[in-house]
Structure formats: C-alpha cells, structure tokens
Structure 1
Amino acid sequence: MPRERGEILTTITVIPGDGIGPEVTDQALRTLDALDLGLDIDMLDHVNAGTYLETGEALTDADFERVRTSDSTLLGAVGDPRVAGTDYARDVLLRLRFDLDLYVNYRPAKLFHDRLSPLRDETRRAVDCVIVRENTEGLYAGMGGVLRKQTPFEMTMDAEINTHHGVSRIVDFAFSIARRSVCMVDKSNAVKFGGQLWQRYWREAAGRHPRLETSHLYVDAAVMKLVEDPTRFDVIVANNSYGDILSDLMAELAGGLGTATSANINGDTGFGLFEPVHGTAPDIAGKGIANPIGAILSAALLIERLGHTAAAAAVRESVNSAIAQRRVTPDLGGELGTVDAGEAIRAGLR
C-alpha cells in the first residue's frame, strides 16, 4: 500500500517465514485488513529458508533496516529441516532480538474454553497469566566455547550472563504490567552469583510496590505449582532459559501452542516483534490444516500495543466465540481448515 504525500501511516513489517508461517500469517493479515485500521504493510516474504539456501544470507542489512524503521513487526515462523544447524533461525530471530534490544519476551496465557484445558479440576482452569522472560541475556546470549572438539577430551562451556542493567529492567517491566501479583522464579539456591543479583534487585523492586502481592519460587517448585494451580499466578518473571520453559508449560495449560502468542518488546522504545509460538510445523505445511489462531492473536497483541485496544478486544472475543462453537481446526476440536478457521473469526467481527 503506497503512502500518499504528507500522509503518516503506521507501518508494519511482516516476515511470513517458513513452513506454516506464510499460511497462518496470511490469515492474520486478512483479519487486520477486516479491521480497517489503515496499516501500511511492508512485506518481507523473501526472508526465508529458500533465500538463505540460495544466498547464504538470512537477514540482510537492508531488510533489518526496514524492520528497524517500521512501527512493529509480525513474524510467522522461521526454521526449515533443509537447513542444517541453527545458524539460519538464529541469524533472523536472535539478530532482531539482540540488535533491536527486544529485552522483554511477553507471553500471555489465557484459557479460552474449558474443553482445551488438560487440568482435571475445573476450579483450576481459569488461567490468565503473563510470563515475562528476560530476552537478551542468560544462557542464550551465546557466550562460551569448545576445546579439543571431536576428541575424547572435548570440553564445552555455555556461560549464563546476568547484568544489573538486564535484570533490573526486566523485573521493573514485570511490575509495570501486574494487576495483582508478581512471582519471581530463579534457582538462586544452586546458581550462586547470578542468583544473588536477581535476589537483590527483586527485594528492592518488591519494596517499591507494596500494593502488589510478591512471591519467589525456585524453578523446580514453580513447575509443580503451575501444574497444581495456574490460577494463582498473575505475572511471572524469570531469566531467559527458565522463562522459555515456563512459558511453554503455561501455554499448554491454557489450551496448547495453537492459541499461544508472544511479543518481543523493547520496553523503552515500545517497538515489538510479535509471533505465534507454534513454530514452522513442517510436517503439516502446505496441507491447509494449520491453526491460525496463534498468528491472529499475535496480530491482536501487536495492534493493542499500538493503541488499538478496542479492535484487539474484538478479535479476542471473536476467537473466543469461534472456539466455543468449534469453528476451529482439528487440534482444537473442530473440522475446519486454516482458511475457513480464519474466516470464522473474521465473520465474528462483522
């Protein structure tokens, strides 16, 4: 959509990616179009594994600049079994996370319908929680190395990085979005030095928010408590690796990865990269049966962050209605394909 001279539009860069990414992203874009929000879509559909296999480049500097200068980004999924190793996916997703300093991984989890919950106790099914995961430090920062590779004496090391800057800003973000409580999860009884930093700043931050209930759990205990009663949690904040694991567990407790959304956010600039959690699912790519709800809800999260709160709420309500009526894909108990499931949601917007 070209800009008219003098017109200021909200530009959304879109990277459909690989596998089912283009299929579900198409349904998300059709849903945004139905909302008529006047968004300017900048499509980067050449950023994919096919291009990487041909050129050896995952994300060019020019592509990165288009993302950087946009208002927000919607990502389908990246990864392809034809590509050996993890360099391609890391060069797209982790470059965007690190170079744009998207230090917040924001993972909301809300159960849309009782039938989707794996919990037997119906009083424990009202899941409505956010996992706030530190996104640029920890074990995923890539610090480490290998000695004597491919010998009987091979030694590998991955270093967990924690800085006061990184810990303080992620904890502060968690408190800024909490409605009733914040739980900090770590393993400070075993991970001594990083744990001390998290514990010290956690106590300082908790003292500044007396109206909020605060608690602390070691990660192994947190896993048990989540399975026992996920409704007790409002916001959970954790480091990169623990937050990664806990957010996937919470997604399953809230109905599965098919409806799970995520946002990678710079809490200072407000820029965000939004994506469904399910990955590329190459085993079902091209079959027209992928669940589009995660992508559609990720798009709703994107427009909500841009200020379109009523439109985002309308999308969520329509998704809720489609799930209740079983007008969904087979993984959620319906019989629709990807396109028809997306259309069922858009029908609820009219």
Structure 2
Amino acid sequence: MYNITLIPGDGIGPEVSEAAKHVVDATGLNINWETVNAGEKVFQDTGVLVPEKVFQSIEKNKIVLKGPITTPIGSGFRSINVMLRKKYDLYSNVRPVRSLPGINTPFKGIDLVIFRENTEGLYAGIEQELPDGSCEAVKRVSRNASIRIAEAAFEYAKKNNKKKVTVAHKANIMKLADGLFLNCVREVSQAYPDIALQEVIVDNMCMQLVMNPNQFEVIVTMNLYGDLLSDLCAGLVGGLGLVPGANIGKDISIFEAVHGSAPDIAGKNLANPIALILSSAMMLNHMGETDKAEAIIKAVTKTIYEDKVLTCDLGGKATTNEITKAIIKNII
C-alpha cells in the first residue's frame, strides 16, 4: 500500500483533486489517501493558512498530490506554493509539454520538458519597501542550486535519449546572476558529451517557441523565466488544462497542475481535470509504477481523441464528472 498526501486546495481544486484520485484508484493501485488542506478557504475557516497537520502529513508520506491554491494578487498572504517549495527544498520544477491527438493547435508533435529552478531567483519573493517609498526585489542565484537543476535536466535528457538541452537566460544583461547560472549549466554539460547544449536569451526563446517549438527537447532555466515559459508552452498544446507539473526534492515530491484555482467556475462541475490527472501519472512514474502511469496517459489521450466527452475549454460540453468517468472507462 502507498500512503499519499492529498491537498485539495481552493476554487476548483477539490473537484479536480477528486477526479485525479478516482482515476488513480481506477488503475487498481492500493493507495491510502491522507487528505489535508491548506489555502484561502482554510484561512477563512481557521485563521491558519497551512495547519500543522499538513506539514506532518507531507513529512510522513513524502509524496503529495496537490490541487491549485489561491494566491492573492498584489496584496494578502504570500504564495503557499512558493513556501512549500522553499521549506522542503523542492528544487526541480518539471513541466512536460506534449501535443495530444485531437487537440487542434497550430503546431503538431510538440514534446518538450521544462526544468525550472524552483527555490531562488526573483520568483522566490524576496522583497522589501525602502524609506523613499520604492520597493526592491532580490534575485538570488547560487552555484549549488544552479548545478543541481542543470544536472536534473541533463540526466533526464540522457535517460530519455534526448539529443539537446537548451538553457534560457538573460546573461547579456544580468551578467552576474544569470551569468552564474549559465556558467553552471555549461560546466554540467561537459559531463554529457553526447548531449548538445544550446544557449538562448530568454526573450528570443519566447519568439523561437511561438515560431518553431519542435526544435526544443529539454529546456533548463531559472525560476521566473521557467514560470513564464511554462505557460507560453501550455498555450502551444491547448492550454493550462492539459499540462501537468511536479516539484521534486531529495526526499519529498509534490505533484500539481500548472493552472490556478479558477474561482469563477468553482463548484459548478465545469473544470477540466486533465492537468491534475496527468500530474498524477507523473507521480506514479516517480513512484516506479510506470505501467499504471502509462495507462492513465493512454486513457486521457484516447478520451480526447474520441472527441465525445470534452469540457468546454476543449470545445465540448462535458462536466468534470463526465470526463472523469470517460477517462476511467478508457483505462485498460
């Protein structure tokens, strides 16, 4: 039996989390789901953003499936997602972006993975107000964090027979911070002579992705750049509702969809659960249950290709429950 922490989250989180849970259970795996919650709703009810029992569950089980959690814009509490990544040193944010048969997009055959450094950089939210009323944000980059995310990217490329790793940076302007990151990737690349290293300035990277995304296989980049590029790439394959994600550390891993909590459709049985379902497949792969993970991926792919039961964001009229049942039916 596997013990897995389930954090439903806010907004549509409980709906898509329940869908992913049912799909994983349909594979026949014996899983004890330990459900705990954090976020805006918990804060409203208890005055605590992340109850201690959430930390206890994460630290005990090590594997977490997490729904989206609301982060206020411009004010309010800081991101719980960022806090968890920093607290548990989940340094590798992995986001595979793949074309799915049946989704009508300008590009076909996209198959790339973004490795985003997850603990440092501007996205870490180190900010302060200055006496003159202005604000400043600190972009912190370390050799250790840069080396290990580069190693994760190259190891993935080696394991999956990829020929090229692309590093996205802005070292032409931020010569110290981005320069350090770039030099660390260059250093790591020396240990992988069969894998080419491509260096692309991040603004050019955005242009290249919307012109010819098929040229990329594995992308490694810094925290904020990775967040922006991940959403851009999601748009290339049909949207955030189709893209999974993982936050991997040495001992603890949290699997979550890339999208947000979508409070405008919460509780309406309209949310597309595919991103979190595919995140659960990533989770099973991480656990060594590769056959079960592949069964989920194939079931999702078949459901979309059949074009009979799709949610409104995919051009259909199905509810969250209906597409979940269709995916379960297609699990072999």
TM-score range, shorter chain: over 0.9
Q: Which residue of 1 aligns with 2:331?
A: 349
The structural deviation recorded for 1:346 is 0.3
Q: Deviation above 6 Å: which 4+ runs of structure 1? A: none
Q: Which residue of 2 aligns with 1:161?
A: 140
The structural deviation recorded for 1:50 is 2.4
Aligned with 1:303 (options 274, 278, 284): 284
The structural deviation recorded for 1:69 is 1.3
The structural deviation recorded for 1:140 is 2.0
Counterparts of 1:242 and 1:12, CA distance in 2: 30
The structural deviation recorded for 1:236 is 0.3
Alignment map for 1:217-228 (pairs within 5 Å): 217-228=200-211
Amino acid at match of 1:225: Q
Counterparts of 1:193 and 1:23, CA distance in 2: 44
Amino acid at match of 1:75: K
CA contact (8 A) 2:11 2:261 kept: yes
CA contact (8 A) 1:180 1:213 kept: yes
Tell me, what secondary structure is at the counterpart of 2:64? Answer: strand
Count of aligned pairs between the two proteins:
327
Aligned with 1:53 (options 30, 44, 58): 44
The structural deviation recorded for 1:204 is 1.4
Alignment map for 1:139-178 (pairs within 5 Å): 139-148=122-131, 153-178=132-157
Q: Which residue of 1 aligns with 2:53?
A: 62
Alignment map for 1:248-287 (pairs within 5 Å): 248-266=231-249, 268-269=250-251, 271-287=252-268
Residues 1:84 and 1:158: Cα distance change in structure 2 (over 3 Å): closer
Counterparts of 2:268 and 2:42, CA distance in 1: 22
Counterparts of 1:336 and 1:144, CA distance in 2: 43
The structural deviation recorded for 1:84 is 8.4
Q: Which residue of 2 aligns with 1:4?
A: none
- Residue deviations 1:258-311, cap 9 Å, x none? 111110111x33x21011122110111111111011111111111111011011
Q: Which residue of 2 aligns with 1:109?
A: 97
Counterparts of 1:139 and 1:84, CA distance in 2: 15
TM-score by length of 1: 0.90
- Residue deviations 1:15-46, cap 9 Å, x none? 1011100011111001111112111110114x
In the alignment, structure 1 residue 73 sits paired with structure 2 residue 64 = yes
CA contact (8 A) 2:116 2:222 kept: yes
The structural deviation recorded for 1:99 is 1.0
Q: Which residue of 2 aligns with 1:20?
A: 12
- Residue deviations 1:34-92, cap 9 Å, x none? 112111110114x24222023321112332121111131011111177x983416x2x3
**Bigger Rg, structure 1 or 2:** 1
Counterparts of 2:76 and 2:144, CA distance in 1: 28
Amino acid at match of 1:14: L
Counterparts of 1:78 and 1:322, CA distance in 2: 27
Tell me, what secondary structure is at the counterpart of 2:265? Answer: coil
Amino acid at match of 1:155: S
- Structure 1 alignment gaps of length 5 or more: 1-8
Q: Which residue of 1 aligns with 2:227?
A: 244
Counterparts of 2:56 and 2:75, CA distance in 1: 26
The structural deviation recorded for 1:165 is 0.6
The structural deviation recorded for 1:239 is 0.3
- Structure 2 alignment gaps of length 5 or more: none
Alignment map for 1:162-201 (pairs within 5 Å): 162-178=141-157, 179-201=162-184
Counterparts of 2:243 and 2:20, CA distance in 1: 14
In the alignment, structure 1 residue 93 sits paired with structure 2 residue 81 = yes
CA contact (8 A) 1:19 1:80 kept: no
- Residue deviations 1:90-134, cap 9 Å, x none? 2x32221111110011000001025431x2xxxx42110001000
Aligned with 1:336 (options 292, 315, 318): 318
CA contact (8 A) 2:95 2:244 kept: yes
Q: Which residue of 2 aligns with 1:215?
A: 198
